[in-house]
Structures are given as C-alpha cells and as structure tokens.
Chains A and B, each alone.
Chain A
C-alpha cells in the first residue's frame, strides 16, 4: 500500500471539491432546505401537519442529503471520468493498485456525505424553527452517520460504474426518485402499517434504514430499532462494496 499516492489522490478530489464548493453546497443544501421549509414550517404552521412532524422530517431530510451527496460526489464524477475522454486514466496509471483508487473515491465520498449531513442539521433546524424534540444519542448517532456515509459513497461507486453518460436522467427517475419517496424520509416506517405489502417491500430500500437510524438516534420520534438498522446498513454496505469494487475494476481494465 502506497500512502503517499493514496493521499495525493485524495488531495486531488479535495482540491476539485473546494473549487466547486459553492455549486456543490447549493446542490446538496437547497433541496433539503426547501423541503424542510415547506413540510416542516409552512404545512405545520398552517395546521395541515401536526407540530410533531418537525421531528420526523428533520432526520429524514438529513438522510436524503447524505445519500444524495454520495451520488453527487462519487457517481457523477465517475460517470464523467469513465466516459470516452477517460479523464481517470492518469490516476489509473498512478503507482498504486487500481482498486485503491476505488477505495479513495469511497473515502472522498464519505467525507462529502458526512459534511453534507452535518451541515443540514443546523441549517434545517433553523428553517423549521422551534419545536423539534431532540433525543440525542451521540455514540449510536456517530455509528449510524458513518454507516450512512459509507452506504452513500459505496452506492455512488456501484451506481457510477453501472450507469452510462446517457442514462443519468434515467438514473434519477428510476433509481433515486423511488428510493427517496419510499425511503421513509418523509414519514416513519411505522406509518406504512396500513399498506402491509408496501411496508415490507420498502425494507429492501437502504434509505429506510438511513432515515430510521437517524430518526432514532437524533429525535424521540417513532423508529425501527437502532441495532436492526445498524445490522441492515452494514450488510447492505458490504454488498455494495463488493459489487462497486468489482464493477470499478472491470471498467478500469479492458
């Protein structure tokens, strides 16, 4: 393992991320803030939603931002770099095993997802105003955050290596939109009990565990048991890592 090269690869991604800081922040923050404002403030103030909804939506929005950060930070650059211009070739020729480049992408994606998630909490809290009932469990929260960040960037790697330049639009409407709507971000999993089939079907959606895990460790809202969430996220992460690394390798070498 060649740490100097690994660090240089990470430094390159950091440099590019800093250069694109403003558009990236807007990309990651604007949508969740609008969501929290409309659902958490306008609808609750108007009486359409109960005040308790604020505690439900805040962790959900955080989960969505973290997962989207992985897609934006890992999948989209990979799709661009692996297209016909092969921008990634220079890094594939760096004196390090090509799989470490994939690992580097995952680490960079995790950092971005963590930053996005942690920025959303204060920002969203300010937008929804008072009324969020926090019940903070720091250790469990940290573990869940790391697992969600890893899910986000490993998922970004697997997605980025499976989707072509021309299918980006499809990726958003076929993969990300259903994932977000059925990801228990806007409602707790227990609310789906009137739709029993759906309630069990959504369990294949990793965002469910991200939302529920953050909900359980951040607020006192109704949620799936945190240890079940950790186990589920860990298993999903292992699968995504294996698939992502394999796909990366086959894209990198012909």
Chain B
C-alpha cells in the first residue's frame, strides 16, 4: 500500500527574506512586491514574496509525480512545505492521513528528501552518513549496516565509503544524498531537481534508481525544469509558474491539450492583420498569435508541410519571412502556450 499526498489551498508568503536564498532545501522566490517611490519609505514592512498562491494538488499513491516549472516558480517551496521544512501561510497538506504541519514527526517517518543542493553532514564519512541516518530512524545496528552496504554498492560508492564526504565531487555528493534519503525505506521520496549538475551517465543511473524505487510501490515526487526528464519519468505532472498550477495531467494528456500539437515560431519583418488572417486560413492551423505583429506563433496539426503556404501568404501580403522554428508536440510548447515564455527564460 503506497502513500498519497493531498495539498489543499496552499499559500506561502515570505514576509521576511528567507534565511538564505540558497538553502539546501532550496528556496527561490518569484515576485517582490515593492511598489512605487511612496512605498519605499516603509520598504522593510512591505517585504512580501508570494511563493505559493493557492495551490491544490493530489499526488496518488505509487505514482511518479513531477512538478515542472522555471526557476522561482514555487517548486522548491512546495517541496519545503511537504517535507515540514517550510511553514505554510495558509492551507493544508497531508501525507497519507497525517497533516504535515500538525503531525510533523509522523509525516517525517514516511518521507525521504533529496535536496536541490547536497546538504551532507561534512563531519562524517559516506558510510557514517548512512549509518547515523538509519540510527535517527531507529534502525538496529545490524539492519543499518546491511542497508548501508547495499546502498553503497547500488550507488557505486563502495570504494570511497570510508572517506570524508567533504572531498567528494558534486555527482558523488548527489548520489550519497539520494542513498541517504532511501536509507530508512521511506514511502514517499522527494527529489528536488535531482539531475541538476549531473553528467548524462549519472543522470541515467538516477532515472533507473527512481524507476526501480517506484516499482516497489513507493510514491515519488520530483521537481525539474528538464522536459525530457518530466516526459520520461513522470506518470503525472503539474506545471507550475508564479506559484500557481497552470496545468496538470499525464504527459500525454498535457501534450494533447496543446492546440494542434505542432508549434511554428515565425518571424516576419512585419505581419499585418491580413497576413495573420491568411495564416489562420491555412489547412490544419488551429491558432495564430502575434503580439507585436512581427513574431508570430502558429499552432497546427502539422509542421513542415505548412511552410510553402506560409511563404506564399507572406508574399501576397508584401511581408518577408525571416525566421522559422518548428517545435514538435512537447511539454516545452505546452509551457509556451500557457505562459507565453520559454521554460528556460
């Protein structure tokens, strides 16, 4: 029996600057509401950062759930609240039947956390980190020694097991962080941007570990800003931006929700209304958007075959086509569709 997570109307407003923006649990924030010159006088009082703006979500037992969004979208704050490290301003969150904020100790027993930046105990060796972690969770000496050995082997860390971790490379620190989170066999595993800074090989190892752990019936929650990671690992996804859920569903559902599927990003020297109207009339085109009458986004059910039609329409309108980019149906185009900006912006 896996454990699910429920989030109800969660809000988090930081009224003081977070203690350290680069904390291990990862805190980034989005909009700082500092107004005009009038408000400057009492700027200190007015400091307010809305990190989560009324989020409701359900992560089902035994699924790999992804939170996808750009930096500062509120992903890490969500993880912070779900792992008892951040106090919500309002709203509630449950792990299984436990209210995370009110029954912290019970919630903490069920979760394992891999932070955005490794926050390893630098006073210990790799093996000791695992052994003490097991001890904090009440494992017997034999149990934790066996489990530590198994994990060190699985994560290919046996030859450095008795070295102090402060001398480890970034990838090794990340691996030992994940091993530590799995040490007490948690029902829910949180990974905050697990593959940031990993080389492609370690990244694949990580994906394999996540999939294997999920096969044991464990729930996995991960945040990422990599499309391919979300696409290939997650059963369901929520796209989050500015502290709000923009869209959620399976990767397939989300991709299918983009009008047409293909996105053609065009650039003209000028794009008058008549040109836009002509583009809308092309076969398979579902939506045409142009804010500045230069850059134009065309959503359609096909890509390349439309180009000749576009060129003809541009010539007829006396405009010149300067740049074309065809994006196949992907989460990236979905994100663009909902926010008007690229995920990496």
Q: Which residues of A contact B (CB under 8 A)?
A: 2, 4-5, 8-9, 11-12, 15-16, 19, 82-98, 251, 253-254
Contact = CB atoms under 8 A, between A and B. Distances in A.
A248 to B, nearest CB: 12
A85 B117 CA distance: 8
Chain B CB count within 10 A is highest, among A83, A85, A88, for A85
A8 B180 CA distance: 16
B193 to A, nearest CB: 15
B25 A2 contact: no
Contacts of B180: 90
B87 A254 contact: yes
B136 A86 contact: no
Contacts of B113: 89, 93
A95 B139 CA distance: 12
Given A97-B105, A251-B19, 8 more contacts: A8-B136, A86-B117, A86-B119, A93-B113, A96-B136, A97-B104, A98-B104, A254-B80
13 contacts: A11-B135, A15-B124, A85-B117, A86-B20, A86-B117, A88-B119, A89-B113, A90-B129, A90-B136, A95-B109, A95-B137, A253-B87, A254-B86
Given A85-B24, A86-B23, A254-B86, A2 B135 contact: no
A28 to B, nearest CB: 18
B105 A95 contact: yes
Given A84-B20, A86-B24, A251-B19, A93 B84 contact: yes
A98 B19 CA distance: 17
B309 interface: no
B18 interface: yes
B97 interface: no
Contacts of A251: 19
B122 interface: yes
Nearest to B120: A87
Contacts, number: 99
A96 B136 CA distance: 9
Contacts of B123: 16, 19, 87
A16 B124 contact: yes
B83 interface: yes
Contacts of A98: 104
A84 B22 contact: yes
A89 B115 contact: yes
B128 interface: yes
Contact of B24 (A2, A4, A15, A89): A89
B121 interface: yes
B14 interface: yes
A96 B138 CA distance: 11
Given A85-B24, A254-B80, A90 B119 contact: yes
A19 B121 CA distance: 14
Interface string B77-119: 0001001111100000000000000001110110101010101
Contacts of B111: 93
Contacts of B14: 254
Nearest to B80: A254
B133 interface: yes
Given A89-B24, A92-B85, A254 B19 contact: yes
Nearest to A253: B87
A87 B119 contact: yes
Contacts of A93: 83-85, 108, 111, 113
Nearest to A94: B136
B25 A86 contact: yes
Contacts of A12: 121, 124, 132, 135
Contacts of A92: 85
B299 interface: no
B262 interface: no
B335 interface: no
A5 B20 contact: no
B18 A254 contact: yes
Contacts of B136: 5, 8-9, 90-91, 94-96
A242 B128 CA distance: 33
B105 A254 contact: no
Chain B CB count within 10 A is highest, among A16, A88, A90, A94, for A90
Given A95-B108, A95-B109, A253 B86 contact: yes
Chain B CB count within 10 A is highest, among A15, A16, A254, for A254
Contacts of A15: 124, 128, 132
B27 interface: yes
B23 A84 contact: yes
A82 B23 CA distance: 9
Interface in B6-46: 14, 18-20, 22-25, 27
Contacts of A254: 14, 18-19, 23, 25, 27, 80, 85-87
B194 to A, nearest CB: 16
A54 B123 CA distance: 39
A88 B115 CA distance: 12
